[in-house]
Structure 1
Amino acid sequence: MSNTLFPVFLKTETAHFLIVGAGNVGLEKTETLLKQNPAIRITIVGTIIIPKLKGIIGSYSNIDAFERPFQEIDLEDKDFVIIGTDSSEVNLEVRNLAKAKGIKVNAADQPALCDFYLGSIVNKGSLKIAISTNGKSPVLAKRMREYFTEVIPDDIEKSLDVLNQFRANHKGNFQQKLNDLNKITETFKNKKRLGYWNKLKCLFG
Structure 2
Amino acid sequence: MTYYPAFLDLSERLVLLVGAGQVAARKLSALLEAGARVRLVAPELHPKTGKLLNDRVELLVRPFMDADLLGVSLVIAATDNEAVNQKVAHLAKDKGLFVNVIKSPELGDFQVPAALRRGSLTIAVSTGGASPAAARRLRKELSESYGPEWEPYLLLLSRLRKRITEKGLSAEKNRPLFYRLVESDLLTLVKKRSAPEVDVLLNDILGPGFSLADLELADLFN
Band of TM-score, shorter chain: 0.7 to 0.9
The corresponding residue for 1:190 is none
* Deviation sequence 1:106-152 (CA, Å, 0-9, x none): 00131212221111111111212122111122222222222333332
The correspondence for 1:198, drawn from 178, 184, 188, is 188
Q: Is the alpha carbon distance of 1:158 and 1:102 closer, same or farther for their aligned partners in structure 2, counting shifts above 3 Å? A: same
Instruction: Give the drift of 1:80.
Output: 0.5
Q: Is the alpha carbon distance of 1:114 and 1:152 closer, same or farther for their aligned partners in structure 2, counting shifts above 3 Å? A: same
Cα distance in 2, alignment partners of residues 186 and 155 from structure 1: 16
TM-score, normalised via structure 2 length: 0.75
Instruction: Give the drift of 1:204.
Output: 2.3
- Stretch deviating more after TM superposition (102-111 or 4-13): 4-13
Mapping of 1:111-150 within 5 angstroms? 111-150=105-144
The correspondence for 1:108, drawn from 102, 108, 114, is 102
Q: Is the alpha carbon distance of 1:111 and 1:176 closer, same or farther for their aligned partners in structure 2, counting shifts above 3 Å? A: farther
Alignment-mate amino acid for residue 174 of structure 1: A
Give ranges in structure 1 of 5+ residues lacking alignment.
188-194
Cα distance in 2, alignment partners of residues 8 and 103 from structure 1: 16
Percent identical pairs in the alignment equals 31
Is 1:181 aligned with 2:175? no
1:84–1:108 CA contact under 8 A, matched in 2: yes
Across the aligned residues of Structure 1 and Structure 2, the Cα RMSD in angstroms comes to: 2.5
Instruction: Give the drift of 1:17.
Output: 1.0
Is 1:55 aligned with 2:51? yes
Instruction: Give the drift of 1:180.
Output: 4.4
The corresponding residue for 1:20 is 18
Cα distance in 1, alignment partners of residues 134 and 29 from structure 2: 20
Is 1:46 aligned with 2:36? no
1:124–1:149 CA contact under 8 A, matched in 2: no
Alignment-mate amino acid for residue 42 of structure 2: G
Instruction: Give the drift of 1:176.
Output: 4.7
Cα distance in 2, alignment partners of residues 183 and 167 from structure 1: 12
Instruction: Give the drift of 1:179.
Output: 4.8
TM-score, normalised via structure 1 length: 0.80
- Stretch deviating more after TM superposition (114-123 or 153-162): 153-162
1:162–1:204 CA contact under 8 A, matched in 2: no
The corresponding residue for 1:151 is 145
* Deviation sequence 1:38-93 (CA, Å, 0-9, x none): x4211111122222212322xx1111111211100000011111002222222111
Number of residue-to-residue matches in the alignment: 192
- Stretch deviating more after TM superposition (45-54 or 98-107): 45-54
> Which has the bigger relative contact order, CA under 8 A and spacing at least 6?
1
The corresponding residue for 2:9 is 11
Instruction: Give the drift of 1:186.
Output: 4.2
* Deviation sequence 1:152-192 (CA, Å, 0-9, x none): 232323322333344331554335544543454346xxxxx
1:79–1:103 CA contact under 8 A, matched in 2: yes
Give ranges in structure 2 of 5+ residues lacking alignment.
191-197, 204-222
Q: Is the alpha carbon distance of 1:67 and 1:162 closer, same or farther for their aligned partners in structure 2, counting shifts above 3 Å? A: closer
Q: Is the alpha carbon distance of 1:42 and 1:163 closer, same or farther for their aligned partners in structure 2, counting shifts above 3 Å? A: same
